[in-house]
């Protein structure tokens, strides 16, 4: 579902904020992107659930402060800026804008550009 005002980005509803307790992580699909939602105290961070080192899921990675550590090979990222914190990758997290509307976590992961290969012909 797109956000109420189409002019202000591509925010889509994900889960209720109440379902994301402090310290919790939850992965959702936004279009074709798997997005990891992480709650730290009152902040919610959203980023692509694919570590830029080898594109593995970050879900389940240990969180210290606002740093998440990838469970696979140990890359660390600051969830506020997306910046890598050690040398294993120089690439940053793909961060997405988050807002809360009516108690729902909304995420803007950009426009969805997928055509449907089975629906564009015949039928």
* Site residues, ligand FES (CB under 6 A): 51, 53-54, 56, 70, 72-75, 88
In terms of CB distance, is 54 or 100 closer to ligand FES? 54
118 binds other proteins (CB under 8 A): yes
Element (H, E) at 104: strand 104-108
Between CA 66 and CA 43 the distance in angstroms is 10
E-assigned strand segments in the chain: 11-16, 25-30, 33-40, 43-48, 63-64, 67-69, 76-78, 95-101, 104-108
Q: Which stretch binds other proteins (CB under 8 A): 11-19, 31-39, 74-82, 98-106?
A: 31-39
Give SS3 for 18: helix
Residue 114 binding partner per list other proteins, ligand FES, none, with a CB distance cut-off of 5 to 8 Å that depends on partner kind: other proteins
Per-residue mark of binding to other proteins, 56-75 (x: CB under 8 A): xx------------------
């Amino acid at each position: 579902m797109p956000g109420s005002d189409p002019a202000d980005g591509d925010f889509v509803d994900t889960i209720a904020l109440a379902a994301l307790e402090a310290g919790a992580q939850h992965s959702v699909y936004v279009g074709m992107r798997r997005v990891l939602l992480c709650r730290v105290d009152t902040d919610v961070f959203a980023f692509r659930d694919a570590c830029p080192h080898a594109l593995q899921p970050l879900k389940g990675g240990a969180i210290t402060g606002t740093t998440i550590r990838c469970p696979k090979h140990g890359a660390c990222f600051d969830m506020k800026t997306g910046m890598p914190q050690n040398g294993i990758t120089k690439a940053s997290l793909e961060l997405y804008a988050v807002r809360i509307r009516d108690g729902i976590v909304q995420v803007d992961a950009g426009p969805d550009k997928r055509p449907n290969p089975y629906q564009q012909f015949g039928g």
